[in-house]
Structure 1
Amino acid sequence: MYRKERPLLFLERTLVGDGSDPFNGVFAIRLKGIIDQQLLTNALAMLQAKYLQLQMAIAEIDSVKPYFYIPDTIDPIPLVVKEWQHPDQWQEEALKGLRLQFNIAKGPMFHVSCLTNNTRSDLILSFHHCICDGGGGVLLIRELLTFLDGRESSIDKQTRLLLIEDIIPAEIRRNKINQLKTSFLSGLLKTALSVSTLFTSAKHKEVLTRKHDYLLHSKLDSKKTSIWVSVCKKHEVTVNTAIGLLLLKAYEKVVGAESKNKVSCPVDIRKFARQIKDDQLFSFGMVLTLTKKKTDHHQSFWQEASMLQARVDKQMNELRPYEFLMTFEKLHGALPNMIKMLTYGKVGNDLMFSNIGRIPLQNDYQRFTLETVFSPMVVGPFANPSTIICSTFNNELDFSFISNEDFLPQKTAKEIVEYLINEMNSLIALA
């Protein structure tokens, strides 16, 4: 007998689909020092023993209620060790990790590659997005490095997955007004999805080939990063909003009339649903949308950014995480329509942009030094694969841009990234 955990939440099911397409996240880090393969194997075993998500598989994926379970025999986290050959080799491994097809019916849905020589090692951690988000990825890196350094973790071992009842307070779940409101909203969404799929056809629309995915990587040095953060604070604009505005301008400049004037930004649900702790793995959040208004065009960049910030703040204040979860948990029957719309429907945004923020990992360990944390990457099988993620480590702002040649030519993506970096440098020079 295996150990049954809980049914997948609706948004977890959306990330998994029917299990036939990868929807993975990847983190890559660079260590200075000799990393013994046996020590790494042992550290991964300790990490897996601590987090249920690294042991899990999914049963009855085609049923109305697929669920997570712990197999009787848990396979160890796969580890592939290769010779470190050049500084950009991690990008090749990261793309392989994004394309990796996990056996969701058996598990684990986690994989590690190690590129190593006598002086440094690059670790590439790949995971199915249904078990973990970017914040969870940082947590797993911290724990892995702790075990690899021969130290004990300060975080308690997980004994079960979070249930929806753990996340949404009882007084909110049982409130009649909330129940009626979320039932009404879910009904509207079901109707909208049903209507949308009537006009959405898979004919003549091929799912993007993962082999055509590409990665563009950029980094600002610590001096420029410090100035950028300072000038954003001076104008009372978040780094996220300022970069988001530059991305909107970049698409408008490079793509022209084909630009959607929309950048989707994930919001960490932990900021609102405090029942989900920072030391717990969770797989999804909420989303807000950045757009430029035509009336803002005659303003300076920072005036335009301030106007956008006001609209962002308004959206943030209107986010209702508990209503969001309650509404979507009533949509399980509409999952096929949701998947069809996301995969074959009309693309409504330019890209997904996420700012992980400062990565709270130390540099110095007893056995090695953490030199670099590259910004995480994620891509799924949906119609728009373009995602740019930034993060800050060692006071350096780091960017990873993932897309697909068949959706957005790499040449065009390079022009977008060049515009972003050049404009940031210009604003920094004027600060």
Structure 2
Amino acid sequence: MRKLQADIESNMKQEPVRVRALGGTEHLFWLLDRNRAIHFALVAEIDRVFEPSVWHAALLALQQRHPLLSTRIVADSDAVPAFFRDPDARIPLRVVESARASWQVETAREMNTPFDWSTAPLVRATLLQGDDGSTLILAAHHSVLDGMGGAYVMEDLLSALAGGSLMSLPLVQPLECLLRAQMATATVPGAIAPAPEPKVFRAASGARAEVAALALSAQLTRAVVERSRIERTTVHGALAAAVHEAGRRLSRVWRERPVRTVSPIDVRRTVGGMGQANGVYITQTVTVDDRARGAPFWDAAREIKGLLAPAQTHASVVQETKALDAFMSSNPSVEDAAGFLSHMLAFDLLLSNLGREPVASAYEGFALKALWGPIVSSGFADDQVVGVCTHGGVLRLTQASYTAMPGLLDEVSAVLSEAVAA
């Protein structure tokens, strides 16, 4: 591992170089992050302890594999942003020996620490060392990675940690470049109707994120999966319905008006030919649930699945990408981007789901015990962000918020237990 690190370092003495312009979604996330920090984190727990030097070497190998993990963002005189690669940049690793604080507390600290987008790299790591295991928090600026991209990067990192060799990958291209031919003939969707009320952003300074986590039992996880199949819906649909019902039980505001939920949709399989690309390849779809507290659960879960289905088609991805490309080609300001988020999307809940087993469990010499996240914020003052990942047959939930709804995850678990038993 030391020889690998020395070889890599000897080949990286180069000047920073322009890589490419930011794509539409990358550009939008850059602007939104300048309004309020929206970076995200994933958390991996493994059953072995390694010296920090081994982690540093694995992180360095990861940067050699993925070009964007050594970049910063530079805006030219026209404010058009581009990635510039700094080969001498190293992913910083903060090590917490004999960690006493929970990973939730340390992750909240990461969420409260914005990235400097003008300094490479746009990724950082925190390592919590225990007596017989380790927890790694990987945080990333949202212009270089989305949640699934972060999961694929985490798997590469764990493979390198196990002594595996990582081959360098070609530079990932923006989504609109991959769809350029289809976008030429696609029609742009009609104007999006604004939300009934714009959302208020959290304070520019002083607001502090809170992070909570809950793992369902393997038995309840199986029951949710099996009952969702029987009810002709998806686990994501069931989870959305459960969060909506839980929120209505806990919040008067959620009981008095429809709940707006945004679900990031990974388009890698929809577009095809992308494999485990590590960039930003998502579209975002808002669903509105105006049901009353205690409404039939599985009806709500089926409706949410039906509302999301059209957005998952190839034609819809092309249309949405073309519309975003047209908006971003006007070179909007930070205020323009924030206004779009506040007036058009204006969601109460961000439900981000990594799906089932996004990362391998077994590695040479150790195992991944748990994967948590994505843990992220939209910038709104009162949004609730629920990250979902099913790993090792256990569905894990995280909650990130700057105005947390206390007890939300416990209530979600209770709603799901009631739903599968009914």
Q: Which of 139, 153, 159 pairs up with 2:170?
A: 159
Matched, 1:286 2:283: yes
Structure-2 residue corresponding to 1:418: 410
Contact 2:202 2:381 in 1 (8 A): no
Contact 2:42 2:137 in 1 (8 A): yes
Contact 2:126 2:137 in 1 (8 A): yes
SS of the counterpart of 2:37? coil
Matched, 1:125 2:138: yes
Matched, 1:215 2:229: no
Structure-1 residue corresponding to 2:67: 52
Shift of 1:313: 2.9
Contact 1:18 1:61 in 2 (8 A): no
Task: Name the stretch that deviates more: 52-61 or 123-132.
Answer: 52-61
Q: Distance in 1 between matches of 2:312 and 2:174?
A: 25
Q: Distance in 1 between matches of 2:300 and 2:199?
A: 39
Q: Which of 110, 118, 126 pairs up with 1:105?
A: 118
Q: Which of 323, 326, 329 pairs up with 1:327?
A: 323
Task: Name the stretch that deviates more: 102-111 or 414-423.
Answer: 414-423
Shift of 1:5: 1.6
Shift of 1:320: 1.5
Structure-1 residue corresponding to 2:373: 375
Matched, 1:38 2:60: no
Where in structure 1 are there 5+ consecutive unaligned residues?
A: none
Q: Distance in 2 between matches of 1:415 and 1:201?
A: 23
Shift of 1:372: 1.4
Contact 1:264 1:351 in 2 (8 A): yes
Aligned in 2, Cα 1:151/1:346: closer, same or farther, shift over 3 Å? closer
Aligned in 2, Cα 1:74/1:211: closer, same or farther, shift over 3 Å? farther
Q: Distance in 2 between matches of 1:89 and 1:416?
A: 19
Contact 1:351 1:385 in 2 (8 A): yes
SS of the counterpart of 2:375? strand
Shift of 1:97: 1.7
User: C-alpha deviations, 1:94-131, integer Å up to 9, x for none?
Assistant: 11222223232221011111111331111111110111
Contact 1:5 1:68 in 2 (8 A): yes
Q: Distance in 2 between matches of 1:15 and 1:62?
A: 20
Aligned in 2, Cα 1:327/1:305: closer, same or farther, shift over 3 Å? closer
Aligned in 2, Cα 1:228/1:174: closer, same or farther, shift over 3 Å? closer
SS of the counterpart of 1:17? helix
Shift of 1:63: 3.3
Q: Which amino acid aligns with 1:428?
A: V
Structure-2 residue corresponding to 1:356: 354
Alignment of 1:255-266 (within 5 A): 255-256=251-252, 257-266=255-264
Contact 1:261 1:292 in 2 (8 A): yes
Contact 1:25 1:377 in 2 (8 A): yes
Q: Which amino acid aligns with 1:110?
A: V
Q: Distance in 2 between matches of 1:69 and 1:372?
A: 34
Q: Which of 150, 154, 157 pairs up with 1:141?
A: 154
Aligned in 2, Cα 1:74/1:213: closer, same or farther, shift over 3 Å? same
Aligned in 2, Cα 1:149/1:67: closer, same or farther, shift over 3 Å? same
Contact 1:207 1:343 in 2 (8 A): no
Q: Distance in 1 between matches of 2:368 and 2:224?
A: 24
SS of the counterpart of 1:291? strand
Identity of aligned residues (%): 18
Task: Name the stretch that deviates more: 7-16 or 157-166.
Answer: 157-166
Aligned in 2, Cα 1:303/1:402: closer, same or farther, shift over 3 Å? same
Contact 1:7 1:68 in 2 (8 A): yes
Shift of 1:395: 0.7
Shift of 1:145: 0.7
Shift of 1:143: 0.5
Q: Which of 45, 63, 76 pairs up with 2:78?
A: 63
Q: Which amino acid aligns with 2:26?
A: E
Q: Distance in 2 between matches of 1:219 and 1:4?
A: 43
Root-mean-square deviation (Å) = 3.0
Contact 2:286 2:345 in 1 (8 A): no
Matched, 1:387 2:400: no
Aligned length: 402
Matched, 1:27 2:33: no
Q: Distance in 2 between matches of 1:298 and 1:371?
A: 36
Q: Distance in 2 between matches of 1:300 and 1:343?
A: 31
Contact 2:37 2:114 in 1 (8 A): yes
Shift of 1:255: 2.1
Q: Distance in 1 between matches of 2:38 and 2:299?
A: 38
User: C-alpha deviations, 1:39-85, integer Å up to 9, x for none?
Assistant: 111111100111011111111167341111113x5211101111133
Contact 2:32 2:338 in 1 (8 A): no
Q: Distance in 1 between matches of 2:285 and 2:84?
A: 32
Contact 2:17 2:85 in 1 (8 A): yes
Structure-1 residue corresponding to 2:6: none
Q: Distance in 2 between matches of 1:95 and 1:61?
A: 33
Matched, 1:85 2:82: no
Shift of 1:429: 3.4
SS of the counterpart of 1:145? helix
Contact 1:112 1:126 in 2 (8 A): yes
SS of the counterpart of 2:56? helix
Structure-1 residue corresponding to 2:269: 271
Q: Distance in 2 between matches of 1:376 and 1:200?
A: 25
Contact 2:22 2:174 in 1 (8 A): no
SS of the counterpart of 1:152? coil
Where in structure 2 are there 5+ consecutive unaligned residues?
A: 1-14
User: C-alpha deviations, 1:195-250, integer Å up to 9, x for none?
Assistant: x9xx9899xx7635464211121110111111111111111110000111122222
Q: Distance in 2 between matches of 1:33 and 1:326?
A: 46
Matched, 1:399 2:397: yes
Contact 2:265 2:284 in 1 (8 A): yes
SS of the counterpart of 1:272? helix
